[in-house]
Amino acid sequence: MNPPSDELDRIEQTAAEWLTERAEGLSSARNREFARWRRADPRHAAAVAHLEQTCAFLEEMPVVRAKLQPVVAFPAGAPAVLPPPAPPANTPWLRRAVGLAAIFTLTTLGWWQWSRTHPATLLFATSAGGYERVVLADGSVVELNASTEVRVQLAPGERHIALAAGEAHFTVAHDKTRPFIVTAGNVAVRAVGTAFNVRRAASAVEVLVTEGRVAVMRPTTSVTSTGAPSPLAPGPSPASELGANERLLVPDIPASPASAAQPGTAPPVVEKISPDLLRAALAWQERKLVFADTPLREVVAQFNRRNRLQLILADPSLAERPVGGTFAADNAEGFVRLLEGGDAIRIERRGEFEIVLRAAR
């Protein structure tokens, strides 16, 4: 299920209102409120980033930019080419309405071909329990699991996606002239037209191919300090190739010539997985969690990524306890009630959003 469109529309509209107010001048108190709103949900920050990027695009479209100068904040040090018209007197609501309409209408002006030669980094993010399906300008589809953040840059020669956190599934539009590269930490996945899943764990990156083939390698350069995906440098480490229904778990450690030369360092092993395991791994796309003899520590981690209610595994003896079943991803409370029904685990509630799991004595 996609997130309710009216909710996303409200987020976009609120972000535009904040940016319009910022252009007019924010007091210290309002600036702090704006910062708190951005931090409250990753989607808020993503919406602000989208609209700020729109303003950057307008900088290179001088006629449109001049008309919007009174209502849109542009990057500092970039004067308008044409003098802006005088703003309507005593009608701040009209100025704001025009500004919002201009920002949202810009997406329909057909600047995709222009942006191919002016690649910009776009940010998409989901909250705990969230899900988002994004159709990129090239026709590729990115599905974001909960607590996920990706940065997208569609350049003329290559398409770059940086998975900063979480898990995402990519259905790549075929284009031999523009390879599709996903970087996650110090792991890079290269495809042309295929479908695959990438998940960042605590110290490893999991790549799972659902269709076609991909190459997995370690780039000699990683994501830039700004979070934008950097191109693969010449001579990345040798690639592992994966086909459909194959999985690879790669340690997410810095790649360097010295580490590559360490004796006895075995390359990651490509694993063939069954259709049942494949469906379980991608059940999040249906907002479900499927466990089959899964350690409780991993079950807790999966629920915590998707829910405001956080489970705390306080007893190490419970960590490897196997769990099986299918659960709604956003129903941690229901999972806890199931645990309460047994006699092996004791539940302790701390406030409104924490539940501690202990072994029953």
CATH code of the domain containing 293 = 3.55.50.30
Same domain, 100 and 150: no
Q: In 41-180, where does DSSP find H-type helix? A: 42-59, 62-68, 92-105, 112-116
Judge if 137 and 178 occupy the same domain: yes
Q: How far apart are CA 242 and CA 214, in angstroms?
A: 5
Specify whether 153 is located in the same domain as 238: yes
Yes or no: say if 127 and 147 are a contact pair by the CB < 8 Å rule.
yes
| Claim to verify: residue 131 and residue 247 sit in the same structural domain | yes
What is the torsional sign of CA 324, 325, 326, 331? negative
Q: Which three-class secondary structure state does DSSP give residue 341?
A: coil
For the beta carbon of residue 303, count every other beta carbon within 10 angstroms.
Answer: 25
Task: Measure the CA–CA gap between 275 and 81, rounded to whole angstroms.
Answer: 59
CB neighbourhood size of 354 (10 A): 12
218-222 long-range Cβ contacts below 8 angstroms, 24+ apart: 218/186, 218/187, 218/188, 218/250, 218/255, 218/260, 219/183, 219/186, 219/188, 219/255, 220/255, 222/183, 222/185, 222/186, 222/254, 222/255
Q: Are 153 and 263 within one domain?
A: yes
Q: How far is CA 64 from CA 70, 71, 80, in A?
A: 12, 12, 10
Q: Residue 313 and residue 328: Cα distance in Å, rounded? A: 20
- SS3 annotation, 277-319: HHHHHCHHHHCEEEEEEEEHHHHHHHHHHHCCCEEEECCHHHC
282 is a domain residue: no
Same-domain check for residues 134 and 189: yes
Sign of the torsion formed by the C-alpha atoms of 136, 140, 141 and 142 = negative
The whole-number pLDDT of residue 232 equals 44
| 293 and 330 part of one domain | yes
Q: Is there a single domain that holds both residue 65 and residue 191?
A: no
Q: For 122-153, how does the pLDDT look when each residue is reduced to its tens digit (9 = 90+)?
A: 888 988 878 888 878 788 889 999 889 999 99
For residue 278, is it within any domain?
no
| pLDDT score at 109 | 43
Whether residue 63 lies inside any domain: the answer is yes
Distance between CA 264 and CA 278 in Å, rounded? 31
Which residue matches tokens 């940065």? 151
In this prediction, residue 1 carries a pLDDT of: 44
CB 56 within 8 A of CB 23: no
The DSSP H or E segment spanning 121 is strand 121-125
One domain, residues 228 and 316: no
Q: Which pLDDT value is given to residue 156?
A: 85
Q: What are phi and psi of 310, to 5 degrees?
A: -110, 130
What's the confidence (pLDDT) of residue 53? Answer: 66
> How many structural domains does the chain have?
3
- CA distances in angstroms from 109 to 96, 112, 139, listed in the order given: 20, 9, 18
Statement to judge: residues 256 and 302 lie in one domain = no
Supply the range of the domain harboring residue 53: 5-109
Residue for token pair 């001088």: 62
DSSP state of 70: T
Residue positions counted in the chain: 361
Same domain membership, residue 97 and residue 219? no
- 324 and 205: one domain? no
Which positions of the chain have pLDDT values less than 50? 1-3, 63-98, 101, 103-116, 221-236, 257, 259-264
Domain finish residue from 250, 273, 296: 273
> What local confidence, expressed as pLDDT, does residue 43 receive?
78
